[in-house]
């Protein structure tokens, strides 16, 4: 999808200008669905145009039809969409009976997002040649949706449905279902009230070129990609292969008096000569900057690769290309977004690629960064909850809510690319949700990102109202949005040992999905005070987990699901010191003269030891079982050993990692009370105390063991057959 500027001059009776470039993955396929070739990166344009009211049009009268055809095909091969469009349209004018060429013209108008003119061309084809060109109906419907003509679009989709068996590509049939749902969805939203205000940034940021990928460095600093060309450049068609064209670079803007003002190129070793640069993502700690460099290969395919620059002693280091598994040869890898996985708090980099193994033209993939080993894992597909038969682009991950935001043209939407949100991480996700109006429009809406306070953010769109040149929906501009009904929720709490305040502890804030039993890490906080203050988001169930050396973890459950106005919540979390001596497990009983646990014993384990192990997922414990003095010593030792083992087996059966569990039987060798009174009589109370099971914390799992545990858990989950759910996306 392109943003472009026209500079024209009369050169040997031709007006020559440039259509500088489009984003590498937002470029529409000229002949089909969203392109995986990304060939439309820049356009050399030969176009008739009016200069200062003087009509001096480019004349093709002296060119033969053969020359027109050759130039049209060559321009298309080179990815010069507007040159191709100019010559294809002339070709069709001279040969109006050639429906193939007319279809190519329609496709080129769709590729340039000239929805109005594309509709005219598709309609001409569909009126008399729909059976031979059923895709004219499909694409006609889509450009009508982009103009809010949902009733007409649905009618054409139903017509296409009758002819869909004649289309070889199965992706269209998959998309048809959701497109029909999209028409009803959009019609149903038409009279709804938007809870978001969207504002177009002025010409300090948005100029007659593409602007894209805004990211906030802080509340008053934004980095974004743009092609800025302040001069007037002229090019001759014959110099196409050797000319120097303007390039995309990183720029930054400052917020001054509530207005964003461009301040020039973004400092650092990022912008490169002769290479398109863009799509930045900054790690949470501010020490790693991921971004994209793009160049054409020998096949004229635009190949983008991910690069990484690290900050050392306050300075950004020279970027290095990421490994070959991430940047797969001859396939594009671009648009990084940085998340975090919950188990080991490792960095996860989501990105967009057309590599094999995807579900559509473009898919969201991810790789995990092992900070200890300083390696990136092999990329994996983010899964079918996100990726469709269409294309998914511009992911953005919000760690505080564990939501991924992305744009898709394969889901149920309003038209074009819509922004969706989805809760989860890596390849485990809930159902996606369309962000509706006014975040989404009938045009393409991409590059969604949130401000740090979550009261608004930015997006990029070619919706009406931007800086328009050849048509009113040609160009991608940056918009700022603000939520009109945002509420603030603060959690004020204290950490105590009985009634005494504790300091120097860590808080892990988790989102607790009670429907799926998934727990996602939202925030990590270090506190040196007894009191803490955490900002929460509305609509979530939370677990506040407190960790302190020498103490068992403590937690509290907090819900904001029913809060509808700004509020302050309160909690107190009590921690228990880890005892030096073993802790007796009350209620752990066995069947008579047997190692088998009674039903009452299992309940006791579920409500005590199991809870401690779940709340402290890194501790290693030893289970010890003891008997009284009745019976032979060897028999008691064997029985106690088996009883301790039965507790471990029960815990493992309920999902506790066996690496965290040790067991030992002590028989009658470690009594805590007398079995017989001094006069030789039996002491039943003492014997009951000696017939006990206890546990002691003896260590903690290493980071590597925790990672192995998580991988084993993932493997077990994947081996289970998936649950059948309705596809709402």
How do residues 472-520 score in pLDDT, each as one tens digit?
A: 998 899 999 999 999 999 999 999 998 899 999 999 999 999 988 888 9
Q: Name residue 21's beta-bridge partners.
A: 3
Tell me the average pLDDT of the chain: 85
Rounded to an integer, the average pLDDT of 320-324 is 96
Which of these, 728, 123, 27, lies nearest to 446 by C-alpha position?
27
- CATH 3.40.50.200 applies to domain 489-577: no
Q: For residue 233, is pLDDT > 50?
A: no
pLDDT digits (tens, 9 = 90+) for 286-309: 899 999 999 888 777 889 999 999
pLDDT of residue 664: 94
- Phi first, then psi: give them for residue 384, nearest 5 degrees: -75, -15
Q: For residue 46, is pLDDT > 60?
A: no
Q: Is 205 exposed, middle or buried (0-12, 13-18, 19+ CB in 10 A)?
A: buried
Q: For residue 648, is pLDDT > 80?
A: yes
pLDDT digits (tens, 9 = 90+) for 81-131: 888 899 999 999 999 999 999 999 999 999 999 999 999 999 999 999 999
By percentage, how much of the chain surpasses pLDDT 70?
86
Q: Name residue 391's beta-bridge partners.
A: 362
3-class state of residue 82 by DSSP? helix
3-class state of residue 104 by DSSP? helix
Tell me the pTM.
0.84
Terminal C-alpha separation, the chain: 23
C-alpha torsion sign, points 356, 358, 361, 362: negative
Q: For residue 535, is pLDDT > 70?
A: yes
Helices (H), 2-80: 65-78
Helix (H), strand (E) counts: the chain: 12, 44
**Tokens of residue 294, six digits:** 């793009």
pLDDT of residue 52: 29
By percentage, how much of the chain surpasses pLDDT 90?
66
**Tokens of residue 188, six digits:** 């149903």
**Tokens of residue 426, six digits:** 């890596």
When pLDDT is cut at 50, 70 and 90, the band that residue 279 belongs to is very high
- Phi first, then psi: give them for residue 278, nearest 5 degrees: 175, -170
- Strand runs labelled E in 180-332: 196-200, 211-218, 221-226, 249-256, 259-265, 276-282, 288-296, 302-312, 315-316, 320-321
- Strand runs labelled E in 153-248: 196-200, 211-218, 221-226
pLDDT of residue 704: 63
**Tokens of residue 140, six digits:** 């006609």
C-alpha torsion sign, points 170, 729, 196, 193: positive
Q: Name residue 251's beta-bridge partners.
A: 224, 265
What does the alpha-carbon distance between residue 435 and residue 417 come to, in Å, rounded to a whole number?
12
Residue whose entry in the numeric block shows the structure tokens 């095909």: 73
When pLDDT is cut at 50, 70 and 90, the band that residue 332 belongs to is very high
pLDDT of residue 79: 77
pLDDT of residue 77: 84
Q: Name residue 265's beta-bridge partners.
A: 251
pLDDT of residue 572: 96
Q: For residue 47, is pLDDT > 50?
A: no
Radius of gyration, alpha carbons of the chain: 32
More confident residue, 6 or 122: 122
pLDDT of residue 608: 92
Q: For residue 352, is pLDDT > 90?
A: yes
pLDDT of residue 690: 86
When pLDDT is cut at 50, 70 and 90, the band that residue 241 belongs to is low
- Return the top range by mean pLDDT from 37-41, 154-158, 193-197, 275-279: 154-158
What does the alpha-carbon distance between residue 24 and residue 289 come to, in Å, rounded to a whole number?
19
Q: Cα 440 from chain centroid?
A: 17
Q: Name residue 200's beta-bridge partners.
A: 479
8 A C-beta contact, residue 346 and residue 368: yes
Stretch among 151-160, 540-549, 717-726 having the lowest mean pLDDT: 717-726
- Phi first, then psi: give them for residue 493, nearest 5 degrees: -145, 170
Which of these, 210, 268, 272, 246, lies nearest to 1 by C-alpha position?
210
Rounded to an integer, the average pLDDT of 351-361 is 95
Q: Where are the domains of the chain?
A: 2-189, 489-577, 583-702
3-class state of residue 533 by DSSP? strand
pLDDT digits (tens, 9 = 90+) for 414-446: 999 999 999 999 999 999 999 999 999 999 999
More confident residue, 228 or 679: 679
More confident residue, 334 or 12: 334
The 3-class secondary structure across 433-446, one letter per residue, is EECCCCCCCCCCEE
- Phi first, then psi: give them for residue 239, nearest 5 degrees: -95, 15
More confident residue, 345 or 542: 542
Q: Name residue 555's beta-bridge partners.
A: 545
Pick the CATH number of 2-189 from 2.60.260.20, 1.25.40.10, 2.40.50.100, 3.20.20.10: 1.25.40.10
Q: For residue 658, is pLDDT > 50?
A: yes
What does the alpha-carbon distance between residue 460 and residue 480 come to, in Å, rounded to a whole number?
9
Rounded to an integer, the average pLDDT of 449-454 is 94
Stretch among 183-192, 238-247, 396-405, 524-533 having the lowest mean pLDDT: 238-247
> Which residues are within 8 A (CB) of 1 and not within 5 positions of it... i.e. 6 or more apart?
22, 23, 26, 27, 28, 113, 444, 462, 476
pLDDT of residue 628: 87
pLDDT of residue 26: 40
Cα angle for residues 463, 362, 113 (degrees, 5° grid): 30
pLDDT digits (tens, 9 = 90+) for 606-625: 999 999 999 999 899 999 99
pLDDT of residue 45: 29
Topology, domain 583-702: 60s Ribosomal Protein L30; Chain: A; (3.30.1330)
What does the alpha-carbon distance between residue 465 and residue 167 come to, in Å, rounded to a whole number?
36
Residue 201: DSSP 8-state: -
């Amino acid at each position: 999808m392109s943003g472009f500027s026209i500079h024209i001059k009369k050169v040997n009776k031709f007006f020559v200008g440039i259509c500088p470039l489009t984003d590498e993955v937002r470029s529409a396929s000229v002949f089909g669905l969203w392109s995986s070739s990304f060939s439309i990166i820049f356009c050399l344009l030969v176009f008739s145009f009016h200069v200062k009211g003087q009509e001096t049009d480019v004349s093709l009268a002296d060119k033969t039809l053969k020359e027109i055809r050759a130039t049209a095909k060559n321009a298309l091969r080179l990815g010069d969409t507007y040159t191709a469009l100019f010559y294809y349209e002339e070709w069709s004018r001279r040969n109006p009976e050639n429906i193939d060429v007319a279809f190519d013209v329609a496709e080129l108008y769709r590729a340039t997002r000239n929805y109005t003119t594309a509709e005219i061309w598709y309609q001409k084809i569909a009126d008399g040649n729909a059976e031979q060109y059923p895709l004219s109906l499909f694409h006609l419907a889509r450009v009508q949706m982009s103009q809010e003509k949902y009733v007409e679009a649905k009618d054409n989709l139903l017509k296409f449905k009758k002819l869909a068996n004649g289309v070889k590509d199965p992706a269209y049939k998959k998309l048809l279902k959701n497109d029909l749902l999209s028409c009803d969805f959009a019609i149903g939203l038409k009279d709804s009230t938007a809870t978001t205000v969207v504002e177009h940034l002025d010409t300090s940021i948005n100029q007659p070129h593409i602007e894209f990928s805004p990211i906030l460095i802080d509340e008053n600093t934004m980095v974004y990609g743009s092609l800025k060309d302040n001069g007037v450049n002229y090019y001759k068609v014959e110099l196409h292969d050797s000319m120097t064209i303007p390039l995309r670079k990183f720029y930054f803007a400052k917020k001054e008096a509530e207005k964003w003002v461009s301040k020039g190129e973004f400092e650092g070793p990022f912008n490169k000569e002769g290479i398109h640069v863009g799509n930045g993502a900054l790690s949470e700690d501010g020490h790693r900057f991921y971004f994209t460099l793009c160049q054409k290969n020998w096949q004229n395919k635009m190949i983008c690769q991910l690069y990484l620059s690290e900050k050392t002693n306050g300075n950004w280091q020279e970027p290095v290309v990421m490994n070959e598994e991430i940047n797969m040869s001859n396939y594009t890898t671009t648009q990084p977004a940085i998340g975090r996985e919950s188990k080991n708090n490792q960095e996860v980099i989501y990105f967009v690629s057309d590599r094999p193994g995807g579900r559509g033209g473009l898919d969201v993939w991810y790789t995990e960064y092992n900070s200890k080993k300083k390696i990136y894992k092999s990329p994996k597909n983010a899964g079918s909850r996100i990726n469709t038969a269409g294309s998914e682009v511009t992911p953005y991950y919000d760690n505080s809510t564990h939501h991924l935001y992305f744009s898709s043209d394969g889901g149920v939407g309003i038209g074009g690319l819509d922004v969706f949100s989805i809760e989860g991480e890596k390849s485990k996700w809930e159902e996606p949700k369309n962000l509706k109006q006014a975040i989404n429009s009938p045009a393409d809406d991409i590059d969604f990102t949130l401000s740090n306070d979550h009261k608004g953010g930015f997006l990029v769109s070619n919706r009406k109202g931007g800086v328009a040149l050849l048509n009113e929906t040609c160009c991608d501009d940056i918009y700022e949005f603000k939520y009109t009904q945002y509420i603030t929720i603060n959690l004020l709490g204290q950490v105590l040992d009985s009634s005494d305040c504790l300091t120097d502890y860590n808080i892990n804030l988790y989102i607790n999905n009670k429907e799926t039993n998934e727990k996602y890490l939202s925030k990590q906080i270090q506190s040196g005070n007894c009191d803490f203050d955490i900002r929460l988001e509305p609509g979530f169930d939370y677990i506040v987990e407190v960790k302190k050396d020498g103490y068992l973890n403590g937690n509290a459950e907090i819900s904001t699901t029913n809060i509808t106005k700004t509020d302050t919540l309160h909690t107190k979390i009590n921690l228990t010191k880890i005892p030096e001596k073993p802790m007796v497990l009350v209620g752990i009983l066995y069947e008579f003269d047997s190692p088998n646990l009674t039903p009452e014993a299992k309940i006791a384990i579920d409500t005590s030891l199991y809870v401690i192990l779940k709340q402290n997922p890194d501790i290693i414990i030893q289970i010890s079982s003891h008997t009284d003095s009745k019976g032979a010593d060897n028999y008691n030792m064997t029985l106690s050993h088996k009883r301790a083992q039965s507790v471990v087996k029960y815990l493992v059966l309920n999902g506790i990692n066996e690496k965290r569990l040790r067991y030992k039987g002590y028989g009658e060798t470690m009594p805590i009370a007398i079995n017989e009174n001094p006069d030789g009589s039996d002491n039943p109370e003492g014997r009951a105390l000696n017939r006990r099971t206890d546990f002691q914390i003896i260590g903690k799992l290493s980071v590597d063991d925790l990672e192995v545990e998580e991988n084993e858990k993932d493997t077990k989950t994947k081996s289970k057959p998936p649950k059948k759910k309705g596809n709402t996306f």
